[in-house]
Structure 1
Amino acid sequence: MRHTTALKDHHKERRTFTFRTLIAFCLVVLMMLGLVARMFYLQVLQYDTYRVKSDLNRVQLQPVAPTRGLIYDRNGVLLADNRPSHNLTLIKELVQDLDGVIARLAEVVDINDDDIVRFKRRLNQRRRPYQSVPLKFKLNDEEIARIAVDFHRLPGVRVEAELIRYYPYGKSLVHALGYVGRINERELKRIDAHNYSGTHHIGKLGVEKYYEDVLHGQVGMQKVETNARGRVLRVLERESPVPGKDLHLYLDLNLQLAAEKALGESRGAVVAMDPNTGGILALVSTPGYDPNSFVTGISGKDYRALQNSSDLPLFNRAIRGRYPPASTLKPFVGIAAVDSGTVKLDYTMFDPGFYQITRGGRKYRDWKRWGHGKVDLSKAITESVDTYFYDVGHRMGIDPMSDYLGRFGFGKVTSVDLPEAHGAILPSREWKKRSRNRPWYPGDSLNLSIGQGFMVATPLQLATAAMTLANRGKWWAPRMLQTIANDDSFVVDVPPEKQLPDVKLTKDEYWDYMTESMEKVIHASNGTARRIGKGLKYRIAGKTGTAQVVGIKQDERYDAEALSEKNRDHALFIGFAPVESPKIVLSVIVENTGGGSSAAAPVARKVFDTYLLGHSSDDEAIADVGGGE
C-alpha cells in the first residue's frame, strides 16, 4: 500500500520563528534594561562612592619628610649637614613577586644579603599603605641609569631622592654629637607615627638624640595623581613640611680637633668647659668611629669589628668612662677637710713616706718612698703628698668627705643634654652597705682621700667639679647647646635634679688658698706639673693624678714594664686658666700611660694654648724636668 507525504507547513514555521524572535527580542530588551538600570545605579545612585574609590586608585596622599635641622659649633662651623642620596625603594602593594623582583634588581645593581635582610626587617615594621621601603642606599649615576632602563618591567620599583645626615668631621665628633640611624621597631612604638611618616632616620645618640624633637621638624603632605603602574604623574595639592631647627653648640671645632690631636694614638678623653656658662667646649673620646657608616645602616661585619676591638671605639670615655680620679680628687678633699673643721688651714704633719692607722699596722705608702717631711695643705697639693690626705681623710671620716664631694657633682649625672652620661660612683657608708653588704672601714676613708678605692668618676664629672672650684662655688649644669637658630626666646631647660646649689664655704679664703696651691702645681719649682709651665704666657691652676689599674702589694714597687699595657696606670689632669679670670676648664684622662705629670699634663697644655693663644705648643716647648706622684 502506498503512503502519501504531507506538504511542508510554512505558516506554522513562520509562527514558530516569529514567537522565537519575539522571545529573543524581549530577552535582549530585558538585558538592555538591566544594563541601563545597572549603569544608572553605578553612574547616578553610586556616583559618590565609586568616584571616591576611583580617586583612591588614581590619587594618593603621600607624606613629605621635613629637612632635618643642621648643627653648628660656636663659631658657625657646620658640624652636621644634610646631603642628597638616591635610594632604591619598593612599594610592596605594587609588587606581586617580591623575591623575584629583588633577584632581578640584583642582576642590575649590587645588592648583598645584608641589604635584603635589612629591607625585609623594614618591610615588616609598621608603615602606611603604599609607603616605599628602601632596599639600597646611595645609588650612583650608573646604577640609576641601569635601573631606569628596566623600569617598565619592574612595577613598584622606585629611585627616590632624600636628604640624609652627613658628618664632615667623621669620628672626630661622633662622641660629642652622636649620630642618626634607621628607625627600628622599638622606636616606632614610641614616636608619632604621623609626624615620622616618610622619615627613615632618627637620632640615636648624644645631641642628635636629645634634641630629636627640635631637629626633626613637622611632616608635610601632598596629593599626587598616579597611573596604573603607580607612577606619579602630577602633584595636585601640597602642604609643605616645616624643617627642623638649626642648633648652635658651645663646642669649638678647632679646640676639639686640637684635643684629639694632642691625645694622638692613646686611648683617653678630654672635656673642656666654659666656666662662665657651663658650655662644653670640647668633648673628645679616643679612639672614635665614623658615624656616617651608621646613617644608612652599617654592615654586620663592620659593626662586629667595632664591637670586638680591644680599644673600644664605640665606648664614650668622656661621659661614660669610670676611672679612679686619683690625686685630682685632692683639692676637693682638702676643701672638705678645712671647711668641715677637721683641720685648720695652717695644719701640718710630718710625712715619713707612709701612714699607719694604728702603730705597727698596715703602711699606706706615699708615692715618694722617703717622704716629704713637714707638710701643710698647700705643699700637699703642690707635690701631691698622699700621706697628708691619708691623715686628714682618717680624721674626717667618710660622712663629711662624701657629702662635700657630692656638692661638686661627683656620683651624679648633672649634664643637661648628654643622655648617655653615667653617674659613676661616689662611695658612702650607705652605698657600701647597700652594694657590698659590709660596713665602712677607716682604711676605706684613706683610699677615698687620694681618689682610689671604691671611688670612680667620669672625665665630665672631673671637669664639672674643676669648673665649680674655678668659679669659687658657682654651679653650672654642663650643656652642649648654646642657642636654637631664629629662636630669641630659647633658654636651656635645666631639670631641678641637675641644677645643684652653689657650693658655699664658711670662709671665702679657702677658695683663694686652693687656687694658689693648684697654681703652684704648674708654676712652682716643686710642682708635679712644672714640666708644662715652661714658657707659659698665662697662669694655670691644675692638679695631676695617677690612677692605679691593678693593686700593688704593700712592700712592692710599681713596675710598668712588668705589667701588660692594659694594666698600667692611667694619667689624669684637671685645671683651669687663666687663673685670675678663668675662661676654660678641662679634664684629661690618658689610659695606661703612666703618671699624670708626664702624660696628661702635656695634653692639657696643648689644649690650653689652642684656646687661649690660638695655637698649640709643640712637644719640644714642654721641657721634661721631672715631677711625679
Structure 2
Amino acid sequence: MTEIRDAAADLSRFRRRVLVVVGVVLVCFGLLAARLTYLQVVRHAELAERAESNRTAIVPVVPHRGLIRDRNGVVLASNYAAYTLEITPGKAGKAADLDATLDALAEVVPINARERRRFHQLRQDSRSFDAVPVRTQLTDEEVARFAAQRYRFPGVEVNARLLRSYPQGEVASHVIGYIGRINQRETVAMEDWEDEERANYRGTDHIGKLGIEQSYERVLHGQTGVEQMETTAGGHATRQLARHPAVPGQSLTLSLDIKLQKLVEDMYGERRGALVAIDPRTGEVLAFVSKPTFDPNLFVGGIDTESWKALSESIDNPLLNRALRGTYPPGSTYKPFMALAALETGKRTAQKIENDPGYYHFGGRNFLSHPGGLGGVDMNRAIQHSSNTYFYSLANEMGVDMIHDFMAPLGFGQITGIDLLGEVRGVLPSTGWKRNAYRRAEQKKWHAGETISLGIGQGYNSFTMLQLASASATLAHGGVRFRPHLVRAVHDTVTGAVVQHMRPAAEDLGYAARNVDVVRNAMVAVTQGGTGTRVFAGSAYTSGGKTGTAQAVGLSAKARASGKALDARQRDHALYMAFAPADDPSIAVAAIVENAGFGAASAAPIVRRVFDYWVDGKYPNAADMAAVQAGTSGAPLGTPLLASEVEPRSAGADIADPAAGD
C-alpha cells in the first residue's frame, strides 16, 4: 500500500510540474504574440520608416546663391565651382593627429603654412562633425593625386563646391559685404529661428556677414533642396531614389554705378574718408564710398590670421564703414540747412543784414569768423562766403531745441532706414538729449554758450555722410524726401524676371518753394564767386554746393593757431555737400576727407569730378587723378577722358585663392 501511495504522490507532482511548464510556455508565447502584435500593428508605420531610413539617406542640396549686379549689369558678386580639400575632425581621429594628417596630406597636395593656420583657426569655430576646408581651388591633377591616396586619410574628402567671388575686389566692399562660414555664435542664434527657416540652412556652410550679403541674406540664399539616396550598410550612396531640386536665390540689381564707385575710391587714394551720392528724385544711392577698403574675397573661405590681424589692428580701420557708421561734425555744410530753418521758422528773412566783424561776442568770449570780417551780409552772401558770425547769431536766436526740431525730419541724428544693417544714429543735440546723455546734474544742464557753435555745424553735432547726403538730396528736391536705398530690383534667377521693384514712397516736408530757392541759389553762388569757385571753374553745368571744415579734435584756439599740437590725425576734416545740375538736380553728394584741412581744397575737387562723370560723361585723366589724390587739384587738368570709354574692373577677372602663397 505504501508503494502505491508513493507512486500516486509522484504522479501528482509530475502533473503539477507539467502544468506549470505548460503555463510558463503559454505565457511566453502570449508575450511573444503580444510583442509581435505591438511591433507589427501598433508601431508598424514608425518601424517601417526607420527601416527605410537605414536603407536611405536624405541629403540636402544647397541652392545657388543669387548674383549681385550694379545698375548697369556689371557683376559684383557671383559663384564659381571649385574642388575643395576638406577634413572632418570628428572622423579624422584625435586632435593631436590632425597635424600628422596635414603633414601626410602635404606630401600629396601642396599645403602652405598660411593654409595650415587658417585651417586651425576655422576648426576652433567649427563643430567636430563639420567639414573644415584646407585647400580651395584644387587642380584636376591635385584631385587625381589625392584620389589615388584617399584610403590613407579617413575623414578627408575632396568635394566640388560653389564658392562666392567678388570680381571687383576691394571696390564697394563695404556695400556688397561678404559671406563667411557659419560660426558657433550664429549656429546658436539659428536655434531661435522658425523650424522651416532653420531647415532651409541644412547643408549650408556660409551666411552673409556684412553689407548687402547680410541685409538680403534670405533673398540671396534660396530654398534648399533634398535628394533621397539608397545607401549601403556602410553609409555609401548607391543610387538616387528621389530628388527635390533646390530653388536658386534671387538676384539683386543695386542702384550703385560701380564705375562711379571706383572713380571715387581711386580719387581718395591713400586718404581716409567717405562719400555718398544719391539721386534726389528717387533716393537711389549711386555711390557709397568708405576709404580705406578691404578685399571681401579674403573672408569667403575663412580669413587667415595674418590678414585678419592686418585689417583689425590697422590704425586706418579699413573694416569701419565710414559712410554708414562714421560720425563727424558737419562744419559749414550745415549752414544751408540753418538758413532754411531760419526762413521756415520765421526767425530771419533772406534780406536781413547782419554785421560780420570777424567774430561773434557772446558770454564774455569771442567766437571767431573770417579774419577782418565780411562786413554786412545777408543770407545769400553769408552762405556764399561762409560767414560764421551770421550763423552764430542765428543759432543763438533759434535755440537748441528749435534747431533740433527742424533738423530731425531732414534725417540729421536719425536712422535713415537705408537697406544696410548697422547704421548709427549720430547726435543731433537738444536739451532733452543732454539730460539723458550725462549722469552728473551739472552736466545735464544746457548752457546758452553751447548753442552758438551748433550754427556752424560744430559742438555736439555729429552725423554720418549718409545723413548729410540724404538731407542734401531732400534740399535739392525741394523738400521732398526719399528713403535712401541700395537695392533697385529683385530678379528671379532662373527666368530673369523682376520680382520686386524698390520704390520708397516720397515724404514732402512742406517747405515753401521760395525758401528752398533762396538757399539753393545761395549754394549756386558758392560755386560762382564763393568758396567753391576755383574748383568748379569751366564746368559744363551749374551746381550748388557748400564747403566745410570740421574739427577732428578739440584744441584751444592758441594751440590750433600754433600748429605745433596738430599731428596728421588732429588736423581738420574737409567736407563738401552739393547737387547738380542746379536747375534739375539728378545727383546730390556729401563727402569728407579725414584730416585734410579745407573742404574747398580736398573734398570739393572729388565732388567736381563726380558731377563731371554723372552729368557730363567725363572721367579724369591720369595727371588729373594724381593731383586729386595728392589734394593739390582745383578744376580738372588737361583733357578729360570719356566716361563711356573707361571700363570698371572686368567681371571675368581671375579669382585667386586668397590663402595662396605664404
Q: TM-score, normalised by structure 1?
A: 0.85
Which residue in 1 is equivalent to 2:513? Answer: 508
TM-superposed CA distance for 1:300, in Å, is: 2.3
Whether the aligned pair in 1 keeps the contact of 2:89 and 2:98 (CA below 8 Å) is no
User: Which of 185, 197, 200 is residue 202 of structure 2 equivalent to?
Assistant: 197
Residue in 2 aligned with 1:68? 65
**Aligned counterpart, 1:121:** 125
Cα distance in 2 between the residues matched to 1:609 and 1:356: 42
Counterpart of 2:500? 490
**Match in the other structure for 1:548:** 551
Deviation at 1:264, TM superposition (A): 1.5
- Matching residue of 2:86: 89
Q: In the alignment, which residue of structure 1 is the partner of 2:260? A: 255
SS in 2 for 1:221: strand
Correspondence list, 1:423-572, <5 A: 423-436=425-438, 437-486=443-492, 488=498, 490-492=500-502, 501-505=507-511, 507-524=512-529, 527-554=530-557, 558-560=561-563, 563-572=566-575
Which residue number corresponds to residue 404 of structure 2? 402
| Contact 2:605/2:634 (<8 A) preserved | no
Cα distance, 1:305–1:91 mapped onto 2, change above 3 Å: closer
Change (3 A) 1:53 1:402: closer
Tell whether the 8 Å contact from 2:118 to 2:303 is kept in structure 1 after alignment.
Answer: no
Deviations along 1:348-379, one digit per CA (max 9) or x if unpaired, are 11111000125xx100000x211001111111
Partner of 1:225: 230
Check the 8 A contact 2:279/2:587 in 1, yes or no.
yes
Q: 1:611 aligns with which of 610, 614, 625?
A: 614
- Structure 1 residue 611, shift from structure 2 partner: 1.4
Match of 1:26 in 2: none
Q: Distance in 2 between matches of 1:137 and 1:334?
A: 60
Q: How does 1:138-537 map to 2 (within 5 A)?
A: 138-141=136-139, 142-188=141-187, 189-190=189-190, 191=193, 192-227=197-232, 230-358=235-363, 361-366=364-369, 368-436=370-438, 437-486=443-492, 488=498, 490-492=500-502, 501-505=507-511, 507-524=512-529, 527-537=530-540
User: How much has 1:416 moved relative to structure 2?
Assistant: 2.9
How many residues of Structure 1 are paired with residues of Structure 2 in the alignment?
Answer: 571
Structure 1 contact 475–502 (Cα < 8 Å) conserved: yes
Give me the whole-angstrom Cα distance separating, in 1, the residues matched to 2:611 and 2:234: 63
| Structure 1 residue 314 displacement after superposition | 0.6
Q: Match for 1:422: what amino acid?
A: V
* Contact preservation (8 Å) 1:518, 1:543: yes
- CA distance in 2 between counterparts of 1:493 and 1:540 reads 26
Amino acid at match of 1:355: Y
> For 2:579, what is the secondary structure of its paired residue?
strand
Structure 1 residues 93 and 423, CA, compared in 2 at 3 Å: closer, same or farther? closer
| 1:418-439 C-alpha deviation (Å, 9 max, x unpaired) | 1111111100111112113422
CA contact (8 A) 1:108 1:143 kept: no
CA distance in 1, matches of 2:353, 2:565: 37
- Structure 2: give runs of 5+ residues left out of the alignment: 1-31, 636-662
CA distance in 2, matches of 1:155, 1:562: 63
> In the alignment, residue 419 of structure 1 is paired with which amino acid?
L
Shift of 1:531: 1.4
What stretches of structure 1 of length at least 5 have no aligned partner?
A: 1-36, 125-130
Q: In the superposition, relative to structure 1, how do residues 549 and 101 fare at CA in structure 2: closer, same or farther (>3 Å)?
A: closer
User: Match for 2:126: what amino acid?
Assistant: R
Contact 1:175/1:285 (<8 A) preserved: yes
Q: What code does the residue aligned with 2:185 have?
A: R
- AA aligned to 2:199 is H
Question: What SS does the corresponding residue of 1:588 show, helix, strand or coil?
Answer: strand
Classify 1:52/1:176 alpha carbon distance in 2 versus 1 (closer, same or farther; 3 Å): closer
In the alignment, which residue of structure 1 is the partner of 2:74? 77
Deviations 1:520-560 (A, max 9, x none): 11122xx1011112110001100000001233434565355
What is the distance in 2 between the residues matched to 1:180 and 1:560? 45
1:493-540, Cα deviation, whole Å (9 max, x unpaired): 86xxxx7942222x321111111100011122xx10111121100011
The whole-number CA distance in structure 2 between the counterparts of 1:579 and 1:215 is 39
| Cα distance, 1:120–1:510 mapped onto 2, change above 3 Å | closer
Bigger shift: 194-203 or 230-239?
Answer: 230-239
Distance 1:607 1:561 in 2: 35
What amino acid sits opposite 1:168 in the alignment? Answer: P
TM-score (norm 2): 0.81
Corresponding residue SS for 1:112: helix
Distance 1:230 1:530, change over 3 A: same
Match of 1:13 in 2: none
Asked if 1 retains the 8 angstrom alpha-carbon contact of 2:121 and 2:304, the reply is no
Match of 1:108 among 99, 105, 110: 105
Residues 227-246 of structure 1: CA deviation (Å, up to 9, x unaligned)? 45544333222110000000
Q: Residue 409 of structure 1: CA displacement?
A: 0.3
Q: Judge conservation of contact 1:84–1:163 (CA < 8 Å) in 2.
A: yes
**Contact in 1 for aligned 2:548/2:598 (Cα 8 Å):** yes
CA contact (8 A) 1:273 1:279 kept: yes
Higher Rg: 1
State the identity as a percent: 39
8 A Cα contact 1:605 1:617, kept in partner = no
